[in-house]
Structure 1
Amino acid sequence: MVVQVSCTLVVLLLLVSLLSSLFHCEHSLAFSLKNCTILYSENSNNVSVTCAEHHLTAIPDDIPGNAVSLNLSSNDISNISRMDLGGLSKLEALYVKNNWILQIDDGTFVDLVELKVLDLGENLLTALTKNMFQGLSKLETISLNNNVISFTSPVVFQPLVILHLVDLSNNYLHQISDIDYIVKLPTLQHLIITHNNFTSFQSDDLHVNTSNLLTLSLDSVKKFRITRDIFPHLQSLDLRGWSKDIEWEVSNKTFLRSLTRLHMSETSLSFEVYRAILQTAYSLQEFQMDNIKKWIDDGLIDVACQIPSLRTVDVRNSEIHNITEHMLQSCSNLTELNLSFNNINSMADNALQSMTQLRSLILQNNELSELPVAVQRLTTLEVYDLSINDISELYCPYFWNLTSLTILDLSHNQISYVSECVFQNVNNLKILNLENNKIMSFIDTFKDKLQTLEFLNLRNIDIMNFIQGDFHSLSSLQYLYIDLDECDSVDEGGFEGLDNLQILYLLGDNYFYDHFSGLSNLNTLILNVVESRTHNSSEQRDRPFSNLPKLKKLHIKVHRGYYDISKDVLSGLTSLEYLITEAYFMGSFKQTQVVNAHQYTCAFPVSQRGNKFLDFGFDSCRINAALLCFLFSSNLVMLTLLASFIYHFLRSHVTYAYYLFLAFLYDNKRRKKGIPHSYDAFVSYNVHDKAWVYGELLPELEGQQGWKLCLHHRDFEPGIDDYHYEKQHCWLITLMKPNLKPMNDFSFAIPKKNLHQLNSTNLCQGQGQRSTFLKNI
C-alpha cells in the first residue's frame, strides 16, 4: 500500500510540474545558474561567472562552457577533482581563493588550455604534486599565498612554459633550494616568497647560472649573500619585515646593477645595515620606506639621496611632524617625493629649496592647516596632492609660480574661501579635485582661467548659489562632478560654456529644468536626486533633456519622493543607448508611447549594429532548448513511472485485456476473409472427465444452448492436423481446476462447478458478447 501511494504521488508531482511549465512558459524562457551569476560582455559571446560567497562545498556542475572568468572565492570548497572543471576550454581566469581546499587531483586543470590567471590563495594546500598543473601551457600568473605548503615537486611547474608571476608568500617552505626549480623558469619575472621559514638567501643554494627575475619579494632571513651574477635583470627588491641580525653581503656591486627599486619597512635593523644595503644599490632610482621613524632624525633620507641615480623617495607612516630645513637638502635630484600619512603639521620655508627638479609632491593625510610656503618656489611641480589635511583657504598668489602644475588635489580639507585670483597663471592644470570642502560659491573663480582643465570634482561641497557664467571659461572640461542639493538659487544656463563636457555627475533637487543648455556634446549624465518634488508644467521643464542630442547614457536615481513625470521627459534624446532609472518613474506610467521608435537603430550586439530596432526578430529569444529537453524528459519519466505502476498493481487486468484484444483481432481477421466457423469451441479435457463431458457438458451446450463443439475423440478426422481444427472454432474450453492459466492465447478455463453460468452467447459473433461471456464466467 505504501509503495502504491508513493508511486501515485510521484506521478502527480510530475504532472503538476509539467502543467506549471506549460501554463507559465514565458517565465521558463529565462534561466539562472543554481549558485552563480553571469555577467555578459557587450562585444563578445563569452561570459564571466561569479559564485563568490555562496557557501558552496563543491564546484557547481552548470558553469557555461563559454565562460572566460570564474570566481569561486570565499566558499567552503575542500577539494577539486578532475571532473569539476571539465569542458571549460575557454576559461582565462580562475579565482578559488579563501576556501578550505586540501586536495587538488592531478590533471584537474587539463581542460583549461586557455587559462592565464590562477588564484589558489588562502586555502589549506600542504603540497604541490607532480601533475597538479598539467595542461596549463598558457598560464601567466599563479597565486598560492596563505596556504600551508611545505613540499613542492621539482617538476610541478614544468608545464607552465610562459609563467610570469608566482606568489608563494605566507607558506611553510624551509630552504631556498625549495624554489630552485621556480627560479630556473625562463619566463619568470616576478617572485613573491615573503613570510616563509627561510633562514637565508644565498646564491650558492640556487643551481642556476642566470635568472630572468625582474622583481623579488623576500623577508625574514638572517643572511643575504650574493656571490655570483645570477640576477642580472633584477629591477625591484622588496625587503620589508627583515630581522635585526641580518648579514648582508653582495661581493660585487655589479651583481645588482639593474636594481632600480628598493622597498623597506620598519624592522630592528641597525642604521649600519641600512647604509650597507643602500651602498650596494648604486643604480637605485626609487626608494620606499615605511615606519622608519627611528632613523629619520639620524639622516637616513639624506643617505639615500646621496645615490646619484635616485629620483623617487617615498616615506610613509613614519610620524614625521616637521619638515626641517636640512632633512631633504641632499635630495636635489629627486623628481618625486611622497610624505603621506606622517602627521606633518609644519614645513620650513626653505625645506624644499634644493629640489629644483621636483615634479610630484604628495602630502596626503597629514595635519597641515595652511598651504606650505616652501612649495611656492617649485616651478617644475606637475602633481601636487594636499588631500586629507586641515587647510581652510586658498589665497593669492600661492599657485602663481606653479606654471607646470597639471594635477591639484585639495579634497577632504576645510576650505571655505577661494580667492577669485587663486588660479591665475595656472595655465596647464588638467585635473582639479575640491571634493569634501566647505566652499559656498565660485564667483569669478574660474572666469578667464583654467582653460586647459579637463576634470573638475566639486562633490560634497556647500555651494549656495549656482550662477550663470561660473563655468563659462572651462571650454576644455570633459568630466564634472558637482552637488547642488544645498543651493538656494540655481540660474538657468549654469552649464553654458562647457561645450566639450562628456560626463556630468549631478546631485541635488532643483537642477532638473532649464540647466542643460550648452551641453551639446555631453555623452553621460548621472542624476542623483536627494529629494524630488512635483513641479509646475512648462514646455522646457516637460522636456528637460531636449538640449542633449548626443547623450548616450542616462542614469537617474531618486532617494526620496517622486516626480510627476511628463510624457515627453525623454524627448530629444535621439542618441540614447543606455537608460537606468531608480525610483524615478514610480506612479508615472497605466500607458507608454515610444515616439519615433521605428527610427531607432541597434548598437549592440555587433551583428545587429545599424539594423532597425523594431525589425529585430524576437522569435529566437523564445526558443528554449532547455525547456524542450525538460518537457521531453519529464514526459519520459512520467510514462516510465506510470508503466511501472500499472505493471506492478494491474498486470493481471492488463493480461486479461491483452488476450481479449488478440481474440478480437483473430476473430475480425477470419470474418474479413469469409472463413466460416465449423465449431464454436474446442473442448480440451482429461480422459477421466470423458463421462462428465458426454453426460453433462454436451447436453447442456449442444442440446440446450445450441453450441457446436469440437471433441477430439468424436470429431477429429484421420490425417488432419490440429491446425485444421484450430481454424474451425473460436475458443478452446479447457476443463481444469480453478486458478490455473489457459493453455494458449485463445483459451479459457471452465471449472466444472461453473458450467451452469454458460449461456447461449455465440463467442464468435463479436467482442462485446465474448467479453460478457468471460465476465460471467
Structure 2
Amino acid sequence: MERGFIVSVLALTVIALGPVKSSFCPDSLCFCPDVLTADCSNRNLQSIPAGLPSSIRTLILSRNKFHILRNDTFDPITNFNITNLVMDNCQMKNISERSFASLEKLEYLDLSFNNLNVKDINNGIKYLGKSSLRVFNMSGTLFDSRLFPVRNNNVFLTRWLRSLREVVIRSCGIRYFSFKSFAKLTNISKIDLGNNLISNYILPNTSVPSLQELNFTDNYFKKVPGFCLDYARRIPAFPNLQTLHLAVNDIRETANFIKEGFCLKYVEFLNVSHTSFQEISLYSFLSLSHLQILIIDNLHGVTLDSRSLSSKSLRTLSIGRMVQNSLIGFADIFSECRNIKSLKIMNTGLSKTDVVEMLSPLKDLSYLAIVNGEIEQMTALNSFTNLTSIDFSFNRIKEIRKSVVQNLTTLKLLVLRGNRLSNMKESSLSALLWKKKDFWIDVSFNPLDCGCQLEWFRLWVENNQNRTVGYPAQYICASPSDLKDKSIANFDPISECHKISPYVILACISFAFVSLVIVTIVLLRKFRWDIKYYIYTCKNRKPMGYKRFTDDEFLYDGFVAYNTNDRKWIMSELVQMVERNNKYKLCLHERDILPGGIFVDDILESIEVSRKFMLVLSNNFMDDQWCKYETAIANHTLVDGGGHKLLLILLQDIHSEHINKSLKVLLNSVSHVEWTMNRNGQKLFWQTVKQFMGR
C-alpha cells in the first residue's frame, strides 16, 4: 500500500483502458487514446510497429517479446520526441550499446522485470547521456550477488545517469545496500528499494540534500535504520527527506525513532504498517518535528500509552489492530496529538470505549473513520463541528438517530457500509443533510427490509442516485422473501404500499386503449405515405455488417483476496509462482492499494480493473470482516455472469461453522483447487492455477 514512483505513467495506462471509442492511430497495431500516447502492450511485438503518429510522447511496449534491443530497434521513431518509454516484462535478455542513442528526449524509462542483469543495463545506457532521463525503473534486475552496487558494474556511478531524479529497484533480491552507489546522482529525489531482502545499509559519506522520498517497504529491517552521519552533532544523511516508507519489515521497537528523529526532522509522511512492534514507546515520534501523516496499520498486540503518539505536528493518523484488537482503557490516547484532522481506526474492537471521550482532544477533526469494530450505536458527534466525512463501515450499527450528526452542517459524506441497518428513515438525519446537494451517503451492504417502512428512503434514493454511493448494485434486500438478494431498485413502494382499486385500473386501461386506437388511426391516416415509403426502403435496403469491439485491457492479471495471517503463503508460494515465475501481475491489498482513500472503494476498484479474482480460503479468511466483504463481491460477480473470472484456493479444510450460504454457492458454482503438501499434488495445483490465469 505504498505510493509508487511511476504513478504518472500508470495513469496514462488507465486512460488507455478508459471508455475511449476511437484510436488516434488507426493504421497501427497499437491503441492511441490521444495524440501523445501509444499503448502497444500485449501485442506479441518483436519490433516497433508501423503507423505510429509522430506526435506521440509516451510509448508503452509492456509484455511484448523484445528479446534483444538492437542498435536499430528504435530507428522507426528516430524523429519522434519520445519522453516516456515503458518496456517492462518484455522477456528482454540483451541491450546493444547504441540502442537508446536516438531517443534524445527520453525522461522516463521502465525496463523492469526483464531477464537483464546489471552488466546488460550498464552496457545499454551508455548513450542515454544525450537525453535528460529523470526516472529509471530497473526492478526485477538480476544481480550476480546480493550486494548493491555490484563491483565494477555500478550503473549509477557512470556519467550516463547524472540527471536522474527517481530510481526504482524493487524485487531484486538485494540484501545489503550502499548509498555511496548514488554519490554521482546529485539531483536524486526519490529512491524505491521495496520488496527486497535488505536488513542493513551503508550511509553516504556526505549528506544528500536532494533526496525527498525513500521507500524500504517489504524488506528485512529488524530495527529502525540509521539516518544520521554524526549523532553528536545531529548531521542528517538526508536533510530534506520528506517521505519515508518502512512498512512490512521486522522492526521490533520504536525507541530508535527518538534518536533518529533528530535527523528526520523534515519528514512529513511515515508508514510503519505491518511491522513487528511489540510496543510504541513514549514520545516515539515527538522528535520528528514536521511529521504530518503517520500510518501504523495492522500492528498485532501492540501496547499503547497516552504519550505514545505524542506529536504537535501530526495531522493525519491511521491505526489498526492495536492493543490486542482493543483500545479499551485508552480514553486519553490522543491527548498529546491534539492537532489531528484526519483519523482512521481499523480492526480495534471499539465497543465499550466512549468514542466521544476518546476523541474529545481532537477539536479540529474533519475526517473520522472507525472501520471494522464492534460499535452497535453511534455516539453523538455534534461537538466536532469541522467534520466533513464520517465512515463507520463494518460495525454492528442497527439504527441511526438524528442527534448523532444533527448539528454537523459541514458534513459531506456519511459511510455506514456493511452494518446491520434494516431501514433508513427521514428522521435518521436532519432535513438539512437530506436536502444538501453536496452531501453523499453510503449505506450499501446492509440487510435492508424492503417493506413499506423503507418507502421514504427508496423514493429519496430514486431522486438522488448521484448522492447515493454504490446504488443500485450494492443495496440488497434481506426481506421479504420475494425480494431477498435483489436490489432495492426492484422494490416499488407505489405499487406495493399504495394499491389502486381494480375498478380504477380497469377504467384507466379502457380509456388508454380507446385513446390509443384513436391516436393510431389518426397517425396512420396522416403519415400513411411516409409509412409506405419506410416499408419500401426497409425491404430494399442492403444488409450491413457489424463488428463488436471488446476491451479486455486490465491493470492487473488477478486480484487476490486473503487474510493477513496467510500472508506468508501468499508471498512465498503464490507471488513467487504466479508473478515472478510466470510474469503475471497480481493485486495485493497490502502492497498495491494506496493509503489515504476509502478502503472499501479501493477494493471494489481494484477488482474491477483485474482480469481474474482469486479468493484464498482458510479458517482465518472466514473470520475476517474484510474477507466476508470480498466474498460478497465474488457472489455478485457470479450472479452477473462472471463465474469464469473466479477461482477459489483452499489452503486448509474449512470448518463447517464457516461454510455459510454465500460460500456454499461459490463452492458449488466456481472452479476451486486445494493446496496440499504432497509434491505431486502441488504440481497439479499449479497446473490448475496456470490454466485459470491463461484463460
TM-score by length of 1: 0.50
Within 5 Å, which residues of 2 pair with 1:610-629? none
2:344 aligned partner: 409
Partner of 1:119: 60
1:328 pairs with one of 236, 245, 258: 258
Contact 2:294 2:318 in 1 (8 A): yes
| Native 8 Å contact 2:31 2:38 kept in 1 | no
Structure 2 vs 1, CA of residues 410 and 179 (structure 1 numbering), >3 Å: closer, same or farther?
same
Matches within 5 A, 1:462-541: 462-483=396-417, 486-487=420-421, 492-496=426-430, 499=433, 518-522=434-438, 528=444, 530-531=446-447, 533=449, 535-536=451-452
Distance 1:394 1:139 in 2: 59
Aligned residue number for residue 317 of structure 2:
384
Provide the residue aligned with 1:439 in structure 2. Answer: 375
Q: Does 1:300 find its partner at 2:223?
A: no
Distance 1:85 1:469 in 2: 60
Deviation at residue 435 of structure 1 after TM alignment: 1.7
Q: Give CA deviations for 1:346-404 in whole Å, capped at 9, x if unaligned.
A: 12224334333332222112114554433453121111110344234385333244332
Structure-1 separation of matches of 2:545 and 2:242: 71
Are the counterparts in 2 of residues 225 and 249 from structure 1 also a CA contact under 8 Å?
Answer: no
User: What is the letter of the counterpart of residue 424 of structure 1?
Assistant: S
Matched residue, 1:573: none
Aligned positions of 1:82-101 closer than 5 A? 85=29, 93-97=37-41, 101=44
Distance 1:276 1:554 in 2: 49
How many residues matched?
475
Counterparts of 2:75 and 2:130, CA distance in 1:
15
Q: CA deviation at 1:549?
A: 11
Give the unaligned 5+ runs of structure 2.
1-14, 509-530, 547-695
Shift in alpha-carbon separation, 1:49–1:227, aligned structure 2, 3 A: closer
The answer to whether the Cα contact below 8 Å between 1:341 and 1:366 also exists between their aligned partners in 2 is: yes
Match of 1:461 in 2: 395
Once residues 198 and 456 of structure 2 are traced to their aligned partners in structure 1, the CA distance between those partners, rounded to angstroms, is 71
User: Hey, what's the Cα distance between the residues in 2 that align with 1:286 and 1:247?
Assistant: 17
Q: Paired residue for 2:87? A: 144
How far does residue 470 in structure 1 lie from its aligned partner after superposition? 0.5
Q: Do residues 314 (structure 1) and 255 (structure 2) align?
A: no
Give the C-alpha shift of residue 477 in structure 1. Answer: 1.5
Note the alpha carbon deviations across 1:520-556, whole angstroms, 9 max, x for none: 3256566636555453489957854599699699932
Cα distance change on mapping 1:538 and 1:435 into 2, 3 Å: closer
Distance in 2, matches of 1:138 and 1:542, equals 55
Provide the aligned C-alpha RMSD in A: 5.0
Q: Aligned AA for 1:469?
A: S
Contact 1:559 1:583 in 2 (8 A): no
Structure 2 contact 418–446 (Cα < 8 Å) conserved: no
Aligned to 1:134: 76
1:235 equivalent to 2:161? Answer no
Offset at residue 146 of structure 1 (A): 2.2
Q: Would the alpha carbon gap of residues 478 and 222 (structure 1) be closer, same or farther in structure 2, given more than 3 Å must change?
A: farther
> What is the CA–CA distance in structure 1 between the aligned matches of 2:120 and 2:463, rounded to whole Å?
69
- In proportion to residue count, which structure has more helix? 2
Q: Is the 8 A contact 2:415 2:442 kept in 1?
A: no
Indicate whether 1:337 and 2:270 are aligned: yes
Instruction: State the AA in 2 paired with 1:343.
Output: S
Matching residue within 355, 358, 380 for 1:419: 355
The Cα shift of 1:300 comes to: 3.2
Instruction: Measure the CA separation in 2 of the matches of 1:249 and 1:520.
Output: 57
Change beyond 3 A, Cα 1:453–1:300:
same
Name the CA distance, whole Å, in 1 between partners of 2:469 and 2:175.
57
Q: Is the 8 A contact 1:221 1:243 kept in 2?
A: no
Alignment map for 1:354-365 (pairs within 5 Å): 354-365=287-298
Looking at structure 2, the residues matched to 498 and 434 of structure 1 have their Cα atoms a distance apart, in angstroms, of 24
The answer to whether the Cα contact below 8 Å between 1:176 and 1:198 also exists between their aligned partners in 2 is no
1:224 is matched by which residue type in structure 2?
N
Distance 1:268 1:632, change over 3 A: closer
Select 1:349's aligned residue among 267, 274, 282: 282
Please tell me whether the aligned partners of residues 224 and 249 of structure 1 are also in contact (alpha carbons under 8 angstroms).
Answer: no
Counterpart residue number, 2:472: 556
Identity fraction in percent = 13
Change (3 A) 1:175 1:538: closer
Matches within 5 A, 1:252-263: 255-263=184-192
Alpha-carbon distance in structure 2 between the residues aligned to 1:245 and 1:554: 47
2:577 corresponds to: none
CA deviation map 1:394-436 (0-9, x unaligned)? 8533324433212211023321133333322423222211121
> Post-superposition shift, 1:456?
1.4
1:289 aligns with 2:240: no
Structure 1 counterpart of 2:84, one-letter code: T
Kindly state the Cα deviation for residue 472 of structure 1 after the two structures are TM-superposed: 1.3
Structure 2: distance between partners of 1:418 and 1:134: 68
Distance 1:368 1:171 in 2: 42
2:280 aligned partner, one-letter code: M
Change (3 A) 1:491 1:630: closer
Whether the aligned pair in 2 keeps the contact of 1:527 and 1:556 (CA below 8 Å) is no
Task: From the CA coordinates, give the structure whose radius of gyration is larger.
Answer: 1
Residues 424 and 454 in structure 2, CA contact (< 8 A), matched pair in contact too = no
8 A Cα contact 1:410 1:434, kept in partner: yes
Q: Which amino acid aligns with 1:125?
A: F
Q: In the aligned structure 1, how far is the partner of 2:389 from the partner of 2:88?
A: 39
Question: Any conservation in 1 of the 2:355–2:379 contact (CA below 8 Å)?
Answer: no
Change (3 A) 1:360 1:538: closer
2:466 and 2:179 mapped to 1: Cα distance?
A: 63
| Aligned counterparts of 1:122 and 1:229: Cα–Cα separation in 2 | 30
**CA–CA separation in structure 1 for the residues paired with 2:155 and 2:132:** 24
Against the structure 1 CA distance between its residues 234 and 114, is the aligned structure 2 distance closer, same or farther, given a 3 Å change threshold?
Answer: closer
Q: Which amino acid aligns with 1:184?
A: G
Q: Does residue 277 of structure 1 match 2:208?
A: no
Q: What amino acid is aligned across from residue 136 of structure 2 in structure 1?
A: L
Please tell me the residue identity of whatever aligns with 1:358: L
Contact persistence 2:414–2:442 (CA under 8 A) = no
Give the structure-2-normalised TM-score: 0.56
Instruction: State the Cα distance separating 1:140 from its structure 2 match.
Output: 3.8
Does 1:429 find its partner at 2:365?
A: yes
